[in-house]
């Protein structure tokens, strides 16, 4: 009955949300290619490749999950040579990442809409031997139909954010049975494991394996030479002191810009690098920079242009895939979606580079990771924008102080590696 209600409501919600998704496709670009795969329609080449199964189906929603999924595939293949994978994603950016990184023998697709007729068609086409959901998206029709076919299923790097927990707990009657379809749930931390059980998962099937993102950060480190090259092309000398805002969201760029203007008097060599989480916000961020009368170089507009003779105040890095390299050259790194938004972004990447990392109060998406970092004294967490500028000043003014934070952060990442291997072992038993 509950799944019937879901199937009656889902098309209504889908139609209501369709204009938003169409707008996002136009705004971000890249969504048109392969769009029909979301409806389970594949071209002849894809059909021919899918006929050569059996396949191990790994789903990764977006870029962060895709890094985890690809690392898991490597780990699984090392333990089970000859395994073949179908990888699905929801976003065009994750699709591009997987295209560049996947084994050519594997198949990359867009994730299907959770309509019964679409899911049935996709399952008939892929015939998965296993189904792995990265970080825990729950799609009732897919999971119900896969379970009915006897397909073993697992969640890897599972986490339940505050927002998701509140929603899932209210709808425990819907999501409890869905969670009980999984053979194994590999949770990032004890809080996540407890939340899965509270929502309705079988506690005996929930295993704490740690966060895979520690392994991902060490497996795909940023290249310091590439980071220095990016700065040099913008006219920023190697002697510059770099304040970096990584994966910033609306409102956070303004806080960084105001802090920069205040700090510049005491640190004339200071340069601000902004890397918005969504590159399509570039015009909004550029307007904020220019409104403050600051000089700026825009990374996406640098092609075929001469290197500026004087370092700009701000480098706007509005390109995809370069943040991990830029992290290596930031003297102080602020990680976004933590001051003006809720949830937080991944702090492990800059920590793996040995950077001094600063976040705001809102890191709800990474409770166990933040507990690790706080316990190790490896991160600076500020309560608000006013304290943010004060802590940045302290870090910029004391090289030994910020180096100590960077060293602790790198040591923590090294100590927490191994999550991927624990997930492979948990699922392979």
Work out the burial of residue 268: count CB atoms within 10 Å of its CB; fewer than 13 is exposed, 13-18 middle, 19 or more buried.
exposed
Residue 381 lies in a domain: yes
Predicted confidence at residue 308, as pLDDT, reads: 86
Residue 21 lies in a domain: no
205 and 132 in a common domain? yes
Give the chain's end-to-end CA distance (angstroms, integer): 34
Predicted confidence at residue 41, as pLDDT, reads: 94
The two three-digit tokens of residue 219, written as one number: 């497996």
Least confident among 92-96, 109-113, 119-123, 210-214: 92-96
393 and 251 in a common domain? yes
Alpha-carbon span 260 to 243, nearest angstrom: 8
205 and 136 in a common domain? yes
Does the predicted model carry a pTM greater than 0.95?
A: no
Kindly state the DSSP code that residue 282 receives in the 8-state scheme: H
Residue 373 lies in a domain: yes
Helices (H), 149-251: 162-170, 172-179, 190-199, 213-219, 224-233
Predicted confidence at residue 136, as pLDDT, reads: 82
Q: What domain range includes position 393? A: 224-415
Going from the C-alpha of 262 to that of each of 84, 158, 258, 267, 389, the distances in angstroms are 55, 41, 6, 9, 8
Q: CATH number, domain at 144? A: 3.40.50.11720
Residue 13 lies in a domain: no
**Mean pLDDT of the region 235-251:** 97
405 and 273 in a common domain? yes
CB contact at 8 A, 342 and 366: no
Alpha-carbon span 365 to 379, nearest angstrom: 16
Predicted confidence at residue 12, as pLDDT, reads: 62
Predicted confidence at residue 398, as pLDDT, reads: 97
342 and 207 in a common domain? no
Alpha-carbon span 333 to 274, nearest angstrom: 10
pLDDT digits (tens, 9 = 90+) for 107-149: 999 999 999 999 999 999 999 999 999 998 889 899 999 999 9
Alpha-carbon span 101 to 133, nearest angstrom: 19
Residue 17 lies in a domain: no
Predicted confidence at residue 35, as pLDDT, reads: 80
39 and 180 in a common domain? yes
Residue 194 lies in a domain: yes
257 and 215 in a common domain? no
422 and 285 in a common domain? no
Least confident among 70-74, 91-95, 208-212: 91-95
Across the chain, what does the average pLDDT equal?
A: 92
Helices (H), 116-189: 116-126, 140-148, 162-170, 172-179
What are all long-range contacts of 20-24, with beta carbons under 8 Å and residues at least 24 apart?
none
* Closest to 49 in 3D by CA, of 108, 130, 98: 108
46 and 186 in a common domain? yes
Residue 25 lies in a domain: no
424 and 329 in a common domain? no
Residue 328 lies in a domain: yes
H/E run at residue 298 = strand 296-298
Predicted confidence at residue 373, as pLDDT, reads: 97
pLDDT digits (tens, 9 = 90+) for 163-193: 889 888 988 888 899 999 999 999 999 999 9
37 and 175 in a common domain? yes
pLDDT digits (tens, 9 = 90+) for 257-316: 999 999 999 999 999 999 999 999 999 999 999 999 999 999 999 877 788 888 999 999
Instruction: Domain count for the chain, please give it.
Output: 2
28 pLDDT more than 60:
no
287 and 196 in a common domain? no
Q: CATH number, domain at 362? A: 3.40.50.2000
């Amino acid at each position: 009955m509950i799944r019937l209600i879901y199937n009656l409501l889902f098309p209504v919600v889908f139609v209501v949300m369709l204009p938003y998704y169409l707008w996002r496709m136009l705004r971000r670009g890249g969504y048109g290619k392969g769009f029909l795969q979301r409806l389970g329609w594949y071209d002849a080449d894809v059909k021919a490749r899918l006929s050569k199964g059996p396949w191990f189906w790994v789903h990764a929603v977006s870029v962060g999950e895709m890094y985890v999924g690809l690392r898991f595939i490597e780990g699984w293949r090392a333990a089970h040579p000859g395994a073949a994978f179908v990888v699905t994603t929801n976003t065009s950016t994750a699709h591009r990442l997987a295209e560049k990184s996947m084994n050519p023998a594997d198949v990359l697709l867009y994730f299907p809409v959770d309509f019964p007729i679409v899911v049935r068609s996709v399952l008939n086409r892929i015939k998965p031997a296993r189904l792995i959901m990265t970080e825990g998206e729950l799609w009732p029709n897919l999971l119900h139909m896969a379970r009915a076919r006897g397909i073993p299923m697992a969640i890897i790097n599972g986490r339940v954010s505050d927002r998701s927990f509140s929603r899932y707990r209210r709808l425990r009657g819907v999501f409890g049975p869905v969670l009980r379809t999984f053979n194994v749930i590999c949770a990032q931390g004890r809080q996540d494991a407890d939340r899965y059980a509270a929502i309705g998962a079988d506690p005996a099937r929930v295993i704490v394996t740690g966060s895979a993102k520690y392994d991902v950060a060490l497996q795909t480190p940023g290249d310091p030479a590439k980071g220095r090259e990016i700065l040099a092309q913008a006219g920023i000398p190697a002697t510059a002191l770099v304040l970096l805002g990584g994966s910033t969201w609306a409102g956070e760029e303004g806080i960084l810009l105001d802090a920069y203007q205040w700090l510049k008097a005491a640190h004339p060599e200071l340069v601000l690098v902004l890397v918005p989480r969504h590159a399509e916000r570039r015009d909004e961020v550029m307007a904020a920079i220019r409104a403050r009368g600051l000089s700026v170089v825009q990374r996406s507009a640098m092609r075929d242009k001469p290197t500026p003779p004087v370092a700009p105040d701000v480098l706007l890095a509005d390109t995809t895939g370069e943040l991990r390299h830029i992290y290596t050259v930031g003297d102080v790194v602020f990680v976004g979606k933590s001051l003006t938004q809720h949830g937080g972004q991944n702090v492990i990447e800059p920590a793996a580079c040995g950077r001094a990392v600063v976040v705001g109060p809102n890191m709800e998406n990474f409770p166990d990771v933040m507990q690790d970092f706080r316990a190790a004294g490896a991160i600076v967490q500020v309560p608000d924008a006013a304290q943010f500028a004060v802590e940045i000043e302290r870090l910029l003014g004391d090289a030994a102080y910020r180096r100590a934070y960077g060293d602790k952060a790198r040591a923590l990442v090294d100590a927490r590696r191994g999550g991927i291997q624990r997930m492979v072992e948990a699922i392979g038993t």
